[in-house]
């Protein structure tokens, strides 16, 4: 009993000093802790940004070309020479697919990405939406033009965003709209011309691309991380690929759709 008391009194001052030391080191240690809380900060370092690029290939039976009849609307038909082919599945000369929307579906750090101040353009030319597939960020302006001598009625059919439809006079004033919710994809139709269709992807970040005539895509400026990429095609559905990138990595992710 005496021994234990002696031990406590003997070590108490040291223990107290230790507690004080810990307290002061904790106070001093709060700064590194704050840095730890900002862990995604290195991800914002432009020097650490990674790139994922690739192509979207197609194999199997090439879908038959489907002709669109604009005969009932001479103002539209007159602007085309020969048959108008629907662009719902466009296989490029190099065996890749056009109009595939590729984007980061999951894995990004909880950060806010500012929408670009430049609008994304959606044109109506010869009674066709052009481009057929586009992406834009939440809050970014979508500028819709009517280059035709005929009236159109732009009508997006969203599930998560607000639906609207606005008629646009021949070569009329541009329609400028934004979407405030993430949605992949929103189908656009025209209430006047049933063959007109476009697809618009709305994302809270800038990591998306649409394949063109070489079927390739590139997602630049990615923070290091583990990502799920999705490729969306209006007829062939969706595919996912998981890709991990370290700082400054340039990785390849190729999608392969079959029909």
State yes or no: residue 52 binds Cu ion (CB under 5 A).
no
Q: Select from 90-98, 115-123, 190-198, 227-235 the region that touches Cu ion (CB under 5 A).
A: 190-198
Q: Min. distance of Cβ 144 from Cu ion in angstroms?
A: 11
Between residue 114 and residue 153, which ones bind Cu ion under the rule CB under 5 A? 152
Q: Min. distance of Cβ 115 from Cu ion in angstroms?
A: 27
* Cβ proximity of 211 and 97 under 8 Å: yes
Which tokens hold the place of 54?
A: 């690739």
Q: 250 Cβ partners below 8 Å, 6+ apart? A: 50, 51, 52, 53
Among 120, 126, 175, 192, binds Cu ion (CB under 5 A): 192
Nearer to Cu ion, 77 or 241 (CB): 77
* Cβ proximity of 229 and 211 under 8 Å: no
Q: Min. distance of Cβ 241 from Cu ion in angstroms?
A: 36
State yes or no: residue 190 binds Cu ion (CB under 5 A).
yes
Nearer to Cu ion, 192 or 241 (CB): 192
Between residue 9 and residue 28, which ones bind Cu ion under the rule CB under 5 A? none
Buried b (16+ CB within 10 A) or exposed e, 224-251: bbebebbbbbbebeebebebebeeeeeb
Among 105, 132, 193, 205, binds Cu ion (CB under 5 A): 193
- Give the span between the Cα atoms of 180 and 62, in whole angstroms: 37
Nearer to Cu ion, 92 or 124 (CB): 124
Q: Select from 17-25, 91-99, 172-180, 183-191 the region that touches Cu ion (CB under 5 A).
A: 183-191
Q: Min. distance of Cβ 123 from Cu ion in angstroms?
A: 12
Q: Select from 17-25, 128-136, 182-190, 207-215 the region that touches Cu ion (CB under 5 A).
A: 182-190
Bridge partners, 146 (sequence order):
124
Size of the site for Cu ion (CB under 5 A): 5
- Across the beta sheet with 197-203, what order do the strands follow? 133-137, 197-203, 183-190, 152-157, 166-168
Nearer to Cu ion, 200 or 236 (CB): 200
Nearer to Cu ion, 51 or 167 (CB): 167
Nearer to Cu ion, 102 or 133 (CB): 133
Q: 213 Cβ partners below 8 Å, 6+ apart? A: 92, 93, 98
Q: Min. distance of Cβ 164 from Cu ion in angstroms?
A: 15
Alpha-carbon dihedral of residues 163, 188, 139, 241, nearest 10 degrees?
120
Contact positions vs Cu ion (CB under 5 A): 152, 190, 192-193, 196
């Amino acid at each position: 009993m005496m021994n234990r008391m002696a031990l406590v009194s003997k070590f108490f001052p040291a223990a107290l000093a230790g507690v004080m030391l810990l307290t002061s080191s904790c106070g001093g240690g709060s700064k590194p802790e704050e840095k730890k809380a900002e862990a995604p900060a290195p991800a914002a370092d432009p020097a650490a940004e990674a790139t994922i690029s690739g192509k979207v290939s197609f194999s199997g039976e090439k879908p038959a070309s489907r002709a669109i009849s604009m005969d009932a609307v001479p103002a539209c038909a007159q602007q085309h020479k020969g048959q108008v082919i629907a662009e719902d599945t466009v296989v490029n000369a190099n065996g890749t697919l056009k109009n595939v929307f590729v984007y980061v579906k999951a894995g990004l750090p909880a950060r806010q990405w500012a929408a670009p101040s430049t609008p994304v353009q959606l044109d109506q030319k010869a009674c066709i939406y052009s481009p057929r597939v586009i992406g834009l960020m939440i809050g970014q302006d979508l500028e819709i033009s009517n280059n035709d001598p005929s009236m159109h009625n732009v009508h997006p059919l969203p599930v998560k965003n607000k639906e609207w439809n606005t008629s646009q006079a021949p070569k009329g004033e541009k329609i400028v709209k934004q979407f405030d919710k993430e949605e992949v994809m929103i189908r656009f139709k025209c209430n006047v011309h049933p063959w007109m269709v476009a697809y618009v992807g709305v994302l809270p970040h800038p990591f998306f691309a649409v394949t063109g005539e070489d079927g390739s895509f590139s997602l630049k400026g990615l923070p290091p991380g583990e990502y799920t990429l999705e490729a969306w095609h209006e007829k062939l559905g969706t595919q996912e690929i998981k890709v991990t990138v370290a700082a400054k990595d340039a990785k390849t992710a190729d999608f392969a759709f079959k029909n």
